[in-house]
Amino acid sequence: MKAVVFHDIGDIRLDDVKEPKIQDSTDAVVRLTASAICGTDLHMIRGTFSGMKPGTILGHEGVGIVEEIGKGVRNINVGDRVVIPSTIACGYCSYCRASYYAQCDNANPNGKQAGTAFFGGPQMTGPFQGLQAEYARVPFANVGLVKLPREVSDDQAILLSDIFPTAYFGADIAEIEPGDTVVVFGCGPVGQFAIASALLMDAGRVFAVDHIASRLAMAREQGAEVINFEEEHPVTVIQELTGGVGADRAIDAVGVDAQRPESGPAAKEAKAKEKEYKRELSKIAPETNPKNGNWVPGNAPSQVLEWAVKSLAKAGTLSIIGVYPEAAKVFPIGMAMNRNLKINMGNCNHRKYIPRLVNMVRNRTVDPLLVLTQTEPMTDAIEAYKAFDKRQSGWIKVELKPQAAAKA
Ligand SMILES: NC(=O)c1ccc[n+]([C@@H]2O[C@H](COP(=O)([O-])OP(=O)(O)OC[C@H]3O[C@@H](n4cnc5c(N)ncnc54)[C@H](O)[C@@H]3O)[C@@H](O)[C@H]2O)c1
Ligand SMILES: [Zn+2]
Ligand SMILES: [Zn+2]
């Protein structure tokens, strides 16, 4: 079968690989009808989330038809249409039973302390073969797989595999109360859904910060008050537009590949920190491999953390869902401490939120399609990756169609 395979930092290819088989009794094999490219994949190819094992199939977002099940899977039938949560969880450890699926004690073969297990990630996350493929093995399928009703299309469901639940989780741990002012850093797919989720939770106002016009336009369309960080200083604007109070809640939907402003009133301050940022980056990404403008790591890993802390109101809450590797060690702790901020963060407990979101899409409370801008056959996956990595205008969320590869 065809799959997108990680060979090295800056080197991914569409390869012919072996089809997966059932290994454990709670496994399922799913024939994927939709997959997608995520910002998290980009960190791995840029080298800012390191430790990928060559030969790993990329991708952790998938929708498909159950092809085969082990005898421990009793709630799903062959032929069912399902969405696959990005993180893998056993369903019976104390963490899973408290719905902390991303901290499952049993799913990660590297042990209880190894952290989140997910599809298509670095060695320390499993590694598990990913979902940018024609078929995938899903461990703990009895717990993970969520059946899809007819009313929810594949194009809608692929957004429920990772990015909408992640953003909803981000808004949840931001502790949004009705009327709150929320600032979302990053208007990529996750940021767009963070805006939508904040509004679903009755936020009074939502600010959205990025520097890409098409992404800011989408945020504005949703009703967010937009700030281009290369034209204005985001912290100053938020202070001004909140009467000097700041935002009650901030969501970091950028992560380790944050960029610093090259122009506008925030550029000078960021330029002065150039050396510090370079030092941070050399620790985070000792190896990088940019090629023709692709796979360039962000040049200011802690920029968003600093802006988020500064733009919060005293005693506000910071929610970090942008991904940082263990090697990221810079955070403005003193500033946060002295302003009594609260910080919640982590990998999404996908399985906790997906059933609720499936229902919200089914009953038309929300239509996730607003964020899907491209649907490409998997045969064009590498080109699609390059366009998404360069954040080409209009390229926000990219769905991949694995079946198109099967027919090719
Ligand atoms: N915690 C989880 O479980 C989880 C799950 C999925 C994705 N993620 C993470 O969420 C983040 C966003 O994912 P995505 O798919 O939307 O990625 P993306 O790369 O498409 O979006 C990131 C956005 O941040 C913007 N940005 C860069 N520097 C900025 C700055 N200084 N201030 C404001 N915006 C800035 C970029 O222009 C871009 O639009 C990534 O870090 C991804 O790894 C986390
Ligand atoms: Zn993702
Ligand atoms: Zn568990």
| 7-40: pLDDT as tens digits | 999 999 999 999 999 999 999 999 999 999 999 9
Query: Would you say residue 5 has pLDDT above 60?
Result: yes
Q: How far is the CA of 174 from the centre of ligand 3 (A)?
A: 24
> pLDDT tens across 316-347, in order?
999 999 999 999 999 999 999 999 999 999 99
> pLDDT tens across 35-90, in order?
999 999 999 999 999 999 999 999 999 999 999 999 999 999 999 999 999 999 99
Atom 10 of ligand 1: nearest residue by CA position: 322
Q: Ligand 1 pocket: which residues have CB below 6 Å? A: 38-40, 42-43, 162-163, 166, 185-191, 209-212, 215, 229, 253-255, 258-259, 303-304, 321-323, 347-348, 391
Task: Enumerate the domain spans of the chain.
Answer: 2-162+349-407, 164-345
Q: How far is the CA of 70 from the centre of ligand 1 (A)?
A: 36
| Mean pLDDT across 346-357 | 98
Per-residue model confidence (pLDDT) at position 405: 58
Q: How far is the CA of 190 from the centre of ligand 1 (A)?
A: 6
Per-residue model confidence (pLDDT) at position 40: 95
**Residue 399 confidence class, pLDDT cut points 50, 70, 90:** very high
Instruction: Give the ligand at the shortest distance from the Cα of 159.
Output: 2
Tell me the DSSP string of 299-318. S-TTHHHHHHHHHEEEEEEE
Instruction: Give the ligand at the shortest distance from the Cα of 264.
Output: 1
The rounded distance, in Å, linking the Cα atoms of 346 and 173 is 9
> pLDDT tens across 139-194, in order?
999 999 999 999 999 999 999 999 999 999 999 999 999 999 999 999 999 999 99
**Residue 403 confidence class, pLDDT cut points 50, 70, 90:** confident
Mutate to test the pocket of ligand 1, among 35, 37, 40 (most ligand atoms within 8 A of CB): 40
**Residue 407 confidence class, pLDDT cut points 50, 70, 90:** low
Q: Which residues, in sequence order, are CB contacts of 64 under 8 Å at separation 6+?
A: 30, 31, 32, 33, 34, 81, 82, 84, 136
Ligand 1 atom nearest to CA at 170 = 1
| Helix axes 234-241 and 303-311, enclosed angle (nearest 10) | 20
- pTM, two decimals, is 0.97
396 closest CA partner among 226, 188, 167, 211: 188
Cross-strand bridge partners of residue 119: 128
Mutate to test the pocket of ligand 1, among 48, 84, 103, 190 (most ligand atoms within 8 A of CB): 190
- Ion ligand 2 — residues with CB < 5 Å: 38, 40, 162
Cross-strand bridge partners of residue 8: 11
Q: Which of 126-130, 145-149, 402-406 has the lowest mean pLDDT?
A: 402-406
Query: Would you say residue 404 has pLDDT above 90?
Result: no
| Mean pLDDT across 251-259 | 98
Q: How far is the CA of 144 from the centre of ligand 1 (A)?
A: 25
Query: 10 Å Cβ neighbour count for 291?
Result: 10
Superfamily designation of domain 2-162+349-407: Medium-chain alcohol dehydrogenases, catalytic domain (3.90.180.10)
Query: Would you say residue 251 has pLDDT above 80?
Result: yes
Mutate to test the pocket of ligand 1, among 254, 294, 323, 399 (most ligand atoms within 8 A of CB): 254
Query: Would you say residue 365 has pLDDT above 80?
Result: yes
Query: Would you say residue 110 has pLDDT above 90?
Result: yes
Mean residue pLDDT across the chain:
97
| Mean pLDDT across 374-401 | 96
Query: Would you say residue 307 has pLDDT above 60?
Result: yes
- Per CATH, is 164-345 categorized as 3.40.50.720? yes
Share of residues in the chain with pLDDT > 70 (%): 99
Share of residues in the chain with pLDDT > 90 (%): 99
Query: Would you say residue 406 has pLDDT above 90?
Result: no
Q: How far is the CA of 162 from the centre of ligand 2 (A)?
A: 5
Atom 7 of ligand 1: nearest residue by CA position: 40
